[in-house]
Structure 1
């Protein structure tokens, strides 16, 4: 596995406060040891989402890789982005995420301890999960900032 540790910087005017890459394979998380705590925390977030989106599947058996980023927006809104790819992607994942549009996004109602909301969308076979302030404008998050940030991953 290739491991990318924590990094910071700026993307399209947003401050990237943390970035980590990890994979969960056969129920084990593989990452740089300095980033293990963040990887375990993001794994719980992703698993909560998968349990919500795919209630009939055994989410502990789903292998995936995640590029996690934490952003601070120009208007002081914090958000976290999980860009999830599945090494064994195929028709199964597309059926699971049929309610998540490839153009646009879905507001997902996942109970959270923090006052956050979740929006999700797909880009090809990649699932993007965004947690942001409960009072943030989802259209603004998706259209003006997030879409530019996600495009930067595809270069």
Structure 2
């Protein structure tokens, strides 16, 4: 009986994987990040972040961290605006990503990599950072919305 259940579970998993084209990461209940499978061949956990690998080379990551109290606010809009203004002082200029439900999102392209900064509306003291290759990160979705510049 256990063998049948195991085989059935494997078949369900296999059929689910066949139609799945992205890895869904949900650091908070109101935030889902869909990372396209074409971006990576494996994922590993390292120092509190998910690291994406392709052919055993690091190609990106997703990290969640608390925003220092000197920067954070009770509002995700205010917190993300402060972070955006800070990023705007760098050599690569950030761009707001519009129409992302339940989150304030902006990104920076530097060389071949895109870094996306996400402040969930319900978690104004938290910052989720995604980084990945520009060509694959165009398929990244946050709360179902494709990122756009």
Give the TM-score normalised by structure 1: 0.38
Higher helix share: 1
Greater RCO (CA < 8 Å, at least 6 residues apart): 2
Higher strand share: 2
